[in-house]
Amino acid sequence: MSLLVKICGLSTPETLETALEAGADMVGFVFFPPSPRHLSLEAGRDLGRQVKRRALKVALTVDADDATLDNIMDALAPDILQLHGKESVARLRDIKQRFGRPVMKAVPVATSVDLAVLPGYAAIADRILFDARAPKDATRPGGLGEPFDWHLLENLDLRLPYMVSGGLDAGNVAEALRVTGAGGVDVSSGVESAPGVKDSEMIKAFIRAARATQELSVR
């Protein structure tokens, strides 16, 4: 199974084009006002049109209500809904039924105790995204540039595709994949020159590093 690479928090036509040309499998768009990567619906509409099926469009939301999700569906027409808040298993089920899109649930990780929620989410979600748990005083749940202890995912028994995020960059993505056995990686702050400002060269370097890991594993 081929490795999935997701570049999240894209906000300009130029960096989106870089990610697409470099071979990103998923491109993520953030709809969460506290984030420096937050998009207006109109910006999301324009960027979504630019993708033209060259990658899967992922809409990242945090505890969004139905009205907000309706607007995002209309503007972006995402292929996947990434739920990055404290959404319950019941809420996941409701969203899948109402919007008819695959759901990727972000699970914040700091200790092994955080993995206890997996059976419930795995029964509904189409994919799990493991991210570093944000500090208690953080204003947003992700995109903070800090990794978690990847060894917590060693020997993980999860019959569901999963990705890893949190503090990844071109220098450590190979190790993250080696330790976790994840089928995909998701990067945001690790390809930025400043919060919310994507860097085209960093995007290309990250995708190259991730793909090189995949090539080594095939040999």
- Alpha carbon distance 10, 38 (integer Å): 9
Q: What are the backbone angles phi and psi of residue 156, rounded to the nearest 5°?
A: -70, 130
Q: 3-state class of 41 per DSSP?
A: helix
| Burial profile 140-176: b = 16 or more Cβ within 10 angstroms, e = fewer | bbbbbbebbebebbeeeeeeebbbbbbbbbbeebbeb
- Alpha carbon distance 103, 122 (integer Å): 11
Whether 63 is a known active-site residue: answer no
- Alpha carbon distance 115, 180 (integer Å): 14
Whether 79 is a known active-site residue: answer no
Pairing of strands 103-109, 26-30: unpaired
Length of the chain: 219
Of the residues 131, 157, 169, 186, which is catalytic?
131
The catalytic residue positions are 8, 131
